[in-house]
Amino acid sequence: MNAGIDLQGTFIQSVTDLGIPAGAAKAIWMPLPMVLMLIGATVGVLVATWLERKISAAVQQRIGPEYQGPFGLLVPVADGLKLIFKEDIVPEAADSLLFTLGPIIVVIPVFLSFLIVPFGQHILIADVGTGVFLWIALSSIQPIGLLMSGYASNNKYSLLGGLRAAAQSISYEIPLALSVLAVVLMSNSLSTVDIVNQQSGYGILGWNLWRQPVGFIIFWIAALAECERLPFDLPEAEEELVAGYQTEYSGMKFGLFYLGSYVNLVLSALLVAILYLGGWDFPIPLNLIASVLGISDTNPILQVVTASLGITMTVLKAYLLVFFAILVRWTVPRVRIDQLLDLGWKFLLPVSLVNLLITAALKIAFPFAFGG
């Protein structure tokens, strides 16, 4: 069953019916999903920062924020306003151009990656044929901005933090890419929409989580390391390097690092939900529910309900993973830099490679069960 309706086609058809040319209708459509993407990602960050405070308070048996708005919901807004109005200081001996470009290069690829995140069959901005590897390519740009920020700060601790961030990213990008490649083998496609479609129709039993449990664990660990979440936050940990590449930053430039970190966390959780947890797919097959109720698949009301459920399921699965990521932050102690690199190069890399080879062998031996 298609999880939704073609929003772009419906919008363009509605506008052309008013007498506006199709080219103008497309021009009107183009900025709308991009603005929606920016708003959605920003709201996702606000929710994630509020959850961070509330869950960490619950773990430590504290109350957490509750006075800034109902249940403390306005705390993230206060954070943003504080960073906007704080003075933007550039060190005297710093390279001002690179110092400014660093945070921008860090945050832009993360927002661009939302282009390939599907919330339904037709509810996404760009159904790119190589969507998953486009995300990997964009995420590989981020360490350049971190290294640039550390170098431009003219601070040895910032430079070391940038070098650590680059080394950490390279260490975990390879096992992450190999685990994605195993999913691609089963789906016969690099498109995120095709990967979700390959899991749909069987409810929870069709999810890649059951066929790729090792890949799921590797991907999630590598994603947390890419986001520099505890226990992998060595490049920016105050106890390690006086906040690393962020040391000399203040105001909204620091805010961009903060924003990029949480946007990346939400994005990684969304991609795990898409690759391994069925994306917009409901745990119980919707076509089975529709047939039991005697509803036709072409019923417009059913399509709207299906699209709404698809968006809800994708977001719920993603924030369940965000919840676990926050729990890990307040549960697992920080590792040493040698332990961090050993985990990536000596454990995750060989295990992900073996997982890929076994997936290829099983795909040949059991093509129907493994996407042949």
* Whether pLDDT at 6 is above 60: no
Chain segment 45-60, per-residue pLDDT in tens: 889 999 999 998 988 8
Residue 282 near residue 204, CB atoms below 8 Å: no
**How many other CB atoms sit within 10 Å of the CB of residue 35?**
9
Contacts of 243 (CB under 8 A, 6+ apart): 157, 161, 236, 237
Give residue 232's pLDDT.
84
Q: What is the mean pLDDT of residues 18-31?
A: 72
pLDDT band at 372 (very low <50, low <70, confident <90, very high): low
- Quote the CA–CA distance of 66 and 45 in Å, as a whole number: 19
* Whether pLDDT at 358 is above 90: yes
pLDDT band at 329 (very low <50, low <70, confident <90, very high): confident
**How many other CB atoms sit within 10 Å of the CB of residue 185?**
17
- Length reported for the chain: 372
**To the nearest whole number, what is the mean pLDDT of the chain?**
84
pLDDT band at 2 (very low <50, low <70, confident <90, very high): very low
* Whether pLDDT at 195 is above 60: yes
Residue 104 near residue 131, CB atoms below 8 Å: no
Cis-peptide, bond into residue 231, ω within 30° of zero? yes
Give residue 128's pLDDT.
79
Joined together, the tokens standing for residue 26 give: 């497309």
User: Closest by alpha carbon to 362, among 224, 182, 108?
Assistant: 182
Chain segment 196-246, per-residue pLDDT in tens: 988 887 778 888 999 899 999 999 999 998 888 878 887 777 667 777 888
* Whether pLDDT at 318 is above 90: yes
Q: What is the mean pLDDT of residues 238-266?
A: 84
pLDDT band at 346 (very low <50, low <70, confident <90, very high): very high
pLDDT band at 370 (very low <50, low <70, confident <90, very high): low
User: Closest by alpha carbon to 96, among 249, 241, 235, 258?
Assistant: 249
Q: Which amino acid is at 168?
A: Q
Joined together, the tokens standing for residue 141 give: 């740009």
pLDDT band at 158 (very low <50, low <70, confident <90, very high): confident
Contacts of 190 (CB under 8 A, 6+ apart): 129, 130, 131, 132, 133, 184
